């Protein structure tokens, strides 16, 4: 498989593996301008918090190329560019990596003050490639720290897809599993199918299976029973945004899994880069939760699965309270409660420049 996020500087095209088509086929989606990328994010061609951040950084390059010509004054061009960046940052509201990486690109433009659009494009191409590389390195470090928590024989339940496909490569929650297995530990995975868009079935099962990790698919509503039967030893999930107090937004269903894990004495871990920590969001109640179209729930593919006239509620994420989280695995190590303190310290110590700038 080619890289799932790739920027072709010569043609100014962002090439994305179209995750809607997996696992049936590996097709690529070509973003030639910001409109293409906005569509790709809305429609889940690319998804997963860190991957959204990386794609958005490359999206800034697309936006700069688009606004380089055709305006009567540089000021008009700059205003048009800002409007495109604002639109891009707002496409999906929960994953903080999306606006954060655009903020990082804006900051570097402000600091370096390039005098032409060509200079800006070059500056942003370099920075977005750096963001892409950094995310891969950070994932490997998360994997190394998280692997210490797993022992041979563990059966890890995971929800949605927090793997290579959700990041620039390697993955957060799945990265921990890859790292543990690379260290010779016998780890098996239970993947929740993740209604309504089936990221667990289509993406997690796909990438684990390709990488030789034993994986069993289960319906989302099987989790409590499996835990009661002693079939799950740990839970590992990713994150879309971690509030300052440790409350964590992730795919809808994660909260219920965490409650169930607590009831059965099973440790529940979050694996996420510090770029997902948002110290400006005080608690989970302050995290904006994306609502997606009803049709994702009322239809299965092209087939309607409930009577005409019945509506659906489709929150894409929920928030797991910090009290249910045994540890947050980051590139700097595993953080423990009280998260208000451990997160602030970690961000101050070594988080990305962007994460640091959100310190209160």
Residue that has been written with the tokens 């045994």 in this structure? 326
- Asked whether the bond before 196 is cis by omega within 30 degrees of 0, the reply is yes
Q: Which of residues 41 and 64 has its CB atom nearest to ligand MRU in the complex?
A: 41
> At its nearest, how many Å lie between ligand MRU and the CB of residue 328?
13
What is the pairing mode between strands 13-17 and 28-31?
A: antiparallel
Interface residue list for ligand MRU (CB under 6 A)? 47-50, 95, 160, 162, 166-167, 172, 199, 238-240, 250-251, 316
> At its nearest, how many Å lie between ligand MRU and the CB of residue 350?
19
Q: Of 220, 240, 245, 278, which is the active-site residue?
A: 240
> At its nearest, how many Å lie between ligand MRU and the CB of residue 272?
7
Instruction: Output the residue with the shortest Cβ distance to ligand MRU.
Output: 238
What is the DSSP track for 88-154?
HHTSSSS-THHHHHHHHHHHHHHHH--SSHHHHHHHHHHHHHHHHHHHHHHHHHHHHHHHTT--TT-
Q: Measured between alpha carbons, how far is 54 from 59 in angstroms, rounded to an integer?
A: 9
Of 348, 358, 357, 281, the residue nearest 111 (C-alpha): 357
- Tell me which H or E stretch contains 156: strand 155-158
What is the DSSP track for 67-82?
TSSS-SSHHHHHHHHH
Q: Measured between alpha carbons, how far is 135 from 137 in angstroms, rounded to an integer?
A: 5
> At its nearest, how many Å lie between ligand MRU and the CB of residue 266?
18
- Tell me which H or E stretch contains 38: helix 34-42
Q: Which of residues 172 and 330 has its CB atom nearest to ligand MRU in the complex?
A: 172
Burial class of 33 by CB neighbour count within 10 A (0 to 12, 13 to 18, 19+):
middle
Angle at 224 between CA 185 and CA 330, to 5 degrees: 45
Q: Which of residues 122 and 334 has its CB atom nearest to ligand MRU in the complex?
A: 334
Q: Which of residues 67 and 199 has its CB atom nearest to ligand MRU in the complex?
A: 199
Q: Which of residues 67 and 172 has its CB atom nearest to ligand MRU in the complex?
A: 172
> At its nearest, how many Å lie between ligand MRU and the CB of residue 20?
11
Output the six-digit token pair for 358: 């959100």
Q: Which of residues 124 and 268 has its CB atom nearest to ligand MRU in the complex?
A: 268
Output the six-digit token pair for 57: 């950084």
Q: Are 212 and 174 in contact (CB under 8 A)?
A: no
Q: Which of residues 67 and 167 has its CB atom nearest to ligand MRU in the complex?
A: 167
111 is an active site residue: no
Q: Measured between alpha carbons, how far is 204 from 201 in angstroms, rounded to an integer?
A: 6
> At its nearest, how many Å lie between ligand MRU and the CB of residue 355?
15
Of 199, 129, 115, 128, the residue nearest 164 (C-alpha): 199
> At its nearest, how many Å lie between ligand MRU and the CB of residue 117?
31
> Catalytic site residues?
240
């Amino acid at each position: 498989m080619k890289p799932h996020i790739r920027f072709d500087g010569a043609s100014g095209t962002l090439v994305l593996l179209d995750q809607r088509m997996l696992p049936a086929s590996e097709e690529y989606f070509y973003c030639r301008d910001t409109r293409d990328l906005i569509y790709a994010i809305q429609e889940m061609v690319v998804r997963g918090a860190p991957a959204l951040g990386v794609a958005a950084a490359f999206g800034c390059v697309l936006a700069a190329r688009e606004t380089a010509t055709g305006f009567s004054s540089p000021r008009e061009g700059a205003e048009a560019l800002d409007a495109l960046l604002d639109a891009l940052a707002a496409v999906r509201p929960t994953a903080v990596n999306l606006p954060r990486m655009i903020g990082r690109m804006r900051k570097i433009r402000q600091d370096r003050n390039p005098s032409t659009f060509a200079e800006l494009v070059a500056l942003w191409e370099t920075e977005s490639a750096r963001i892409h590389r950094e995310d891969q390195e950070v994932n490997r470090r998360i994997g190394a720290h998280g692997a210490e928590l797993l022992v041979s024989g563990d059966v890890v339940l995971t929800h949605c897809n927090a793997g290579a496909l959700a990041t620039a490569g390697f993955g957060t929650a799945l990265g921990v599993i890859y790292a543990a297995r690379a260290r010779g530990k016998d780890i098996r995975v239970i993947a929740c199918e993740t209604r309504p868009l089936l990221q667990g079935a289509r993406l997690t099962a796909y990438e684990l299976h390709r990488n030789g990790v034993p994986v069993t698919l289960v319906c989302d509503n099987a989790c409590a029973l499996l835990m009661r039967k002693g079939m799950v030893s740990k839970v590992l999930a990713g994150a879309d945004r971690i509030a300052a107090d440790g409350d964590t937004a992730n795919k809808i269903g994660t909260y219920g899994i965490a409650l169930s894990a607590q009831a059965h004495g099973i440790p529940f871990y979050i694996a996420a880069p510090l770029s997902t920590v948002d110290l400006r969001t005080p608690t989970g109640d302050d995290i904006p939760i994306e609502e997606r179209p009803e049709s994702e729930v009322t239809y299965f593919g092209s087939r309607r699965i409930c009577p005409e006239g019945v509506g659906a509620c489709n929150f894409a994420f929920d928030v797991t309270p910090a009290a249910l989280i045994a540890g947050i695995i980051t590139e700097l190590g595993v953080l423990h409660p009280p998260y208000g303190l451990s997160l602030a310290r970690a961000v101050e110590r070594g988080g990305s420049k962007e994460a640091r700038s959100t310190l209160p």
